[in-house]
Amino acid sequence: MSDKSITDRRNFLRRAAVTAIAGGAVAACSDATPKVAAASTLPAAKPALSAAETMDKMHEAGVKAFPAKTAGKGNQILSPRIENGVKIFELTAEKIQWETAPGQMVEAWAYNKQVPGPQIHVREGDSVRVILHNKLDQSTAIHFHGLELPNSVDGIPFITQPPVKPGESYTYEFTAPEGNYGSHMYHSHHNSAQQVGLGMLGAFLVHPKNPSPIEHADVDYTLILNDGAHGYTFNGKSFPATEPLTAKVGQKLRIRFMNEGMMIHPMHLHGMHMTVFAKDGWTLPAPWRCDTLNVAPGERYDVIVNCKSAGVWAFHCHILPHAESEHGMFGMVTAVIVS
Amino acid sequence: MSDKSITDRRNFLRRAAVTAIAGGAVAACSDATPKVAAASTLPAAKPALSAAETMDKMHEAGVKAFPAKTAGKGNQILSPRIENGVKIFELTAEKIQWETAPGQMVEAWAYNKQVPGPQIHVREGDSVRVILHNKLDQSTAIHFHGLELPNSVDGIPFITQPPVKPGESYTYEFTAPEGNYGSHMYHSHHNSAQQVGLGMLGAFLVHPKNPSPIEHADVDYTLILNDGAHGYTFNGKSFPATEPLTAKVGQKLRIRFMNEGMMIHPMHLHGMHMTVFAKDGWTLPAPWRCDTLNVAPGERYDVIVNCKSAGVWAFHCHILPHAESEHGMFGMVTAVIVS
Amino acid sequence: MSDKSITDRRNFLRRAAVTAIAGGAVAACSDATPKVAAASTLPAAKPALSAAETMDKMHEAGVKAFPAKTAGKGNQILSPRIENGVKIFELTAEKIQWETAPGQMVEAWAYNKQVPGPQIHVREGDSVRVILHNKLDQSTAIHFHGLELPNSVDGIPFITQPPVKPGESYTYEFTAPEGNYGSHMYHSHHNSAQQVGLGMLGAFLVHPKNPSPIEHADVDYTLILNDGAHGYTFNGKSFPATEPLTAKVGQKLRIRFMNEGMMIHPMHLHGMHMTVFAKDGWTLPAPWRCDTLNVAPGERYDVIVNCKSAGVWAFHCHILPHAESEHGMFGMVTAVIVS
């Protein structure tokens, strides 16, 4: 809930309370006067908001606050340093404070102070070096989820590498495999239920050398779903601090769904359908359409939305308790805004 | 559990208890007689039912009670009133008492006193008017889930319309969009986790102008799954009060699955497979077969069952605790009866 | 966790504790000496393992113990007795003690003392007889999940047969239906939430008369997922007691996923993708690729992995709390080992 919505809600609760007290006070002061008279003075006082109005005001405050400002933005593109033709990405893991919604601070274990960690973009066949610096007080390691790499860079402590201890650095060096382009991820694979739950994850996008027509999009958006210690989030933020997806009428919007949580999230888009054309980066032989796409932990789906219709289109997890409470929308809610 | 099953179960428990007491009494009265004699009198008394038999009797009672009678039937087709070529549907939201299984009364927030609300049927291109009357003490609004409508009738308070306050009415007017036929839904989109959980939902079916051959079915059944405040239900009822689906050998049965709950429900049909041909109303490019169909919240699937085999075929959620307890089958269980 | 890992962990905890006490003792004994001196003696003492090292040691112990030895192996092929051309399989249900991981004993209700029960293999058109012996103290029955059989052998007490009482036997006789080959299951359908949860389940594989090319595999592995009273298991075992899948470079590995639990399990394979070619035994019209396959209760999926890359490839449920804790990997973790 945004500061504004909290403030609005407090104001309404306060106003309601004050009105009730005032009414009570009037009644209390009217001991000497006939009860009918006391009652008749009440309409003159500001009437208490009804429960329905109070609820509506809280809902309205959330919507009006959207998109609410918070400190920190995750999932930002990380530009590589290029040396001898190798794209070099440095990731530093450390504890930070993270604001998921206005005023909601949580402890995060983050790459480069971002939740999700920065987006990594490479192209099929690229030479890639990822250097991990561990500033946590636990060991860690990175698994490149979806990339078909040699076993030695698979990122599993005691199986393919030693753990990267506190204070240490570790280098992963590989070629982005041919034919294995698409929407992939990177995340911790050591004490992962805790480390990934606290934010040690990010998108790893491999672009094809020869994109097929369905890959063309005017807007390309990566949406990482999570549900761990930070609550129900899209790219590390909860409504109303989530980011809207924006496009113009007639544009093609590509959404890359990634689930880094522990639960399924059936994502529902209002007003326009999605054409699902890739699963875990692999092009589907027979793309299919839907308005509700069930994304399970570890899965990625790529969809195209033909933005044919102007408006602010709600876009949310359809497990309703992940998206709305009696206090209004929260968590896994954002909007596709077509202008 | 049905009245009958509860009664049966009580009778069995009572009978078992009485028998045990009687046995005890015999033993107690036999203090003066040798113990062997006392023991030898026991076979003459009615023996206590074994735990296994008691369990079986409870299971049997549930099955025998199916389909058990309860007050109220949801998901009934609502005939529109037609004015100047516009199909007009009126929906009144109000609190009712709802019987999910014999004797199991719950509070429901219902449209037209039904859980699920009445089925709405239109055809592509139809002019449609839905008039909502709010008799609840909360505001509400209706979202037409799956319909690609103009933003102004999307049903989201404070984004596309004001909330419809207690005592107010609100009118949604639109054309059923071309190409967007199929199995859709309508439900509250205000305080929705609570309102939908309590019953404010229903099927919105848009029929194609030119049905493809796979759309032809002898029996067309809409099955809405739910798991909220009313327990595990099919069309608002729990086994043994669920409704069987009936067909004749050789007929094509179309089932429209809709999940309005908060959990996945992998629906398992015994004895015959399902051919899945549409997702969220959209025809699949490559229909596929299964016997267990995982339906997530907000999703719809259309399947065809070729009823080739006579019998009473169990049809249930395969998360077994949603379907059976030590007391017998309950919740998300029904049958496809082919005669 | 294996005996070894538990021992390692205890040793580390003990050593850490002893070191801490020793350190404390040094400090306590140094009351007479200046504090700086006392501090300076500490480096000479064996330093306490850091929390990170202690955690790493526990993780390492789990990995090193894999595949850990336990008593009992489920999912073994049951050779039929053949009489007059009928393949006869006998299944005896009884309570046993089952070791899910080294030292972790649980009560199981098992077929032929195995969890999962023995694998049954038949061919399309085979005459099959399954004889169930019930040595439990509850009634039971077997449902052949996915097989399209006559209603009379569907295995549902009080609907298609009487319950099979304690001490009784029951015979199911049928022809493996033509066209209905694939990866199916058998399990209890009486008090099933409890009985299946405790182990009364197994694989029932029907081989096609004329296998298509995609059915050819060098290695054919059936992997049954479970999450009930026995914890998170693959074929009745938890990591590090799970069984690795082994293949040689260039071989085709077929994995038959079956979920007999109550939760989804999105199965993630490292390093190599899976081509999904059948759902519930039915060949998909358009096979698709993935690295993470979401398997819901009651579902089966058949996939092919082209084992192109040597290594020990982690293979686990991607709901991370089903696979790893602060003490290391456990539960739904195994590996595909390509040599």
Write the CB contacts of A237 (distance below 8 Å, at least 6 apart in sequence).
A70, A74, A100, A101, A243
pLDDT at C254: 98
Q: How many CB atoms lie within 10 A of CB A233?
A: 28
Longest dimension (CA), chain A: 93
Say which range, A151-160, B213-222, C95-104, has the weakest mean pLDDT: B213-222
Q: Which chain C residues are Cβ-neighbours of B323 within 8 angstroms?
A: 192-193
Could you tell me what percent of chain B has a pLDDT over 90?
84
Taking CB atoms and an 8 Å limit, are B313 and C165 in contact across chains?
Answer: no
Taking CB atoms and an 8 Å limit, are C191 and B324 in contact across chains?
Answer: yes
Say which range, B7-21, B135-149, B273-287, has the weakest mean pLDDT: B7-21
Nearest to A266 among B157, B284, B297 (CB): B297
pLDDT at A47: 54
pLDDT at B48: 61
Mean pLDDT of B311-325: 98
Buried b (16+ CB within 10 A) or exposed e, A268-279: bbbbbbbbbbbb
Which of the residue ranges B1-15, B183-197, C48-62 has the most confident prediction, judged by mean pLDDT? B183-197
pLDDT, tens digit, 9 for 90 and up, residues B60-108: 999 999 999 999 999 999 999 999 999 999 999 999 999 999 999 999 9
Taking CB atoms and an 8 Å limit, are A148 and C326 in contact across chains?
Answer: no
Q: Tell which wins on pLDDT, C317 or B38.
A: C317
CA C10 to chain A, closest CA, distance in angstroms equals 19
Write the CB contacts of B10 (distance below 8 Å, at least 6 apart in sequence).
none
What is the rounded average pLDDT for all residues in chain B?
A: 89
Tokens of B325: 């307890």
What is the rounded average pLDDT for all residues in chain C?
A: 89
pLDDT at B47: 54
pLDDT at C44: 44
Say which range, B4-13, B280-289, C300-309, has the weakest mean pLDDT: B4-13
* Signed CA dihedral, C8, C10, C12, C15: sign only: negative
Rounded Cα gap, residues B7 and C94, in angstroms: 32
Taking CB atoms and an 8 Å limit, are B320 and C192 in contact across chains?
Answer: yes
pLDDT at C18: 30
Per-residue confidence band for A13, with pLDDT thresholds at 50, 70 and 90: very low
pLDDT at C57: 97
Q: Are C193 and B324 in contact (CB under 8 A)?
A: yes
Phi, psi of C106 (to 5 degrees): -130, 160
pLDDT, tens digit, 9 for 90 and up, residues B146-167: 999 999 999 999 999 999 999 9
Rounded Cα gap, residues C59 and C52, in angstroms: 11
pLDDT, tens digit, 9 for 90 and up, residues C110-161: 999 999 999 999 999 999 999 999 999 999 999 999 999 999 999 999 999 9
Could you tell me what percent of chain C has a pLDDT over 90?
84
| pLDDT of C216 higher than 90 | no
| pLDDT of A336 higher than 90 | yes
Taking CB atoms and an 8 Å limit, are B298 and A311 in contact across chains?
Answer: no
Let me know how long chain A is. 339
What is the rounded average pLDDT for all residues in chain A?
A: 89
Rounded Cα gap, residues A83 and C294, in angstroms: 40
Per-residue confidence band for C274, with pLDDT thresholds at 50, 70 and 90: very high
pLDDT at A213: 84
pLDDT at C39: 36
Distance from chain centroid for Cα A185: 15
Mean pLDDT of B260-271: 98
Taking CB atoms and an 8 Å limit, are C266 and A196 in contact across chains?
Answer: no
pLDDT at A92: 98
Tell which of C270, C334, C336 to mutate to test the A interface (max A CBs under 10 Å): C270
Nearest to B285 among A264, A288, A318 (CB): A288
Q: Considering only alpha carbons, which residue of chain A is nearest residue C263?
A: A263
Q: Considering only alpha carbons, which residue of chain A is nearest residue C289?
A: A282
| pLDDT of C287 higher than 70 | yes
Per-residue confidence band for C212, with pLDDT thresholds at 50, 70 and 90: confident
Q: Is B126 left (phi over 0), alpha (psi -120 to 50) or beta?
A: beta
| Beta strands C252-259 and C219-226, pairing class | parallel
pLDDT at A24: 31
Q: Is C311 left (phi over 0), alpha (psi -120 to 50) or beta?
A: left
Taking CB atoms and an 8 Å limit, are A285 and C286 in contact across chains?
Answer: yes
Per-residue confidence band for A48, with pLDDT thresholds at 50, 70 and 90: low
Angle formed by the axes of helices A3-29 and A51-65, to 10°?
160
pLDDT at B17: 31
For B252, the enclosing helix (H) or strand (E) is strand B252-259
pLDDT at C24: 31
Taking CB atoms and an 8 Å limit, are C264 and A149 in contact across chains?
Answer: no
CA B111 to chain C, closest CA, distance in angstroms equals 32
pLDDT at C48: 60
Sole residue written with tokens 């274990």 = A109
pLDDT, tens digit, 9 for 90 and up, residues C6-31: 333 333 333 333 333 333 332 333 33
pLDDT at A151: 98
Could you tell me what percent of chain B has a pLDDT over 70?
86
Task: Name residues 246-275 of chain B within 8 A of A (Cβ).
Answer: 262-264
pLDDT, tens digit, 9 for 90 and up, residues C308-325: 999 999 999 999 999 999
Taking CB atoms and an 8 Å limit, are C270 and A150 in contact across chains?
Answer: no
Q: Tell which wins on pLDDT, C212 or A74.
A: A74
Taking CB atoms and an 8 Å limit, are A319 and B299 in contact across chains?
Answer: no
CB distance from A189 to chain C under 8 Å?
yes
CB distance from A207 to chain C under 8 Å?
no
Taking CB atoms and an 8 Å limit, are A264 and C264 in contact across chains?
Answer: yes
pLDDT at A27: 31
Nearest to C282 among B273, B320, B321 (CB): B273
Q: Tell which wins on pLDDT, A57 or B12.
A: A57
Q: Which chain B residues are Cβ-neighbours of C154 within 8 angstroms?
A: 270-271, 311, 313-314
pLDDT at A38: 37
| pLDDT of B329 higher than 60 | yes
Taking CB atoms and an 8 Å limit, are A292 and B298 in contact across chains?
Answer: yes
Mean pLDDT of A33-45: 39
Q: Tell which wins on pLDDT, B64 or B38.
A: B64
Q: Are A222 and A190 in contact (CB under 8 A)?
A: no
pTM above 0.90, yes or no: no
Q: Considering only alpha carbons, which residue of chain B is nearest residue A64?
A: B158
Nearest to C63 by CA among C266, C334, C336, C338: C334
Q: Which chain C residues are Cβ-neighbours of B292 within 8 angstroms?
A: 280, 296-300
Q: Which chain C residues are Cβ-neighbours of A282 within 8 angstroms?
A: 273, 288-290
| pLDDT of B234 higher than 90 | yes
Q: Is C229 helix (H, G, I), strand (E, B) or coil?
A: coil
Q: Is B57 left (phi over 0), alpha (psi -120 to 50) or beta?
A: alpha
For B295, the enclosing helix (H) or strand (E) is strand B292-295
Per-residue confidence band for A33, with pLDDT thresholds at 50, 70 and 90: very low
| pLDDT of C63 higher than 70 | yes
pLDDT at B37: 35
As for the ipTM of the complex, it is 0.87
| pLDDT of C40 higher than 90 | no
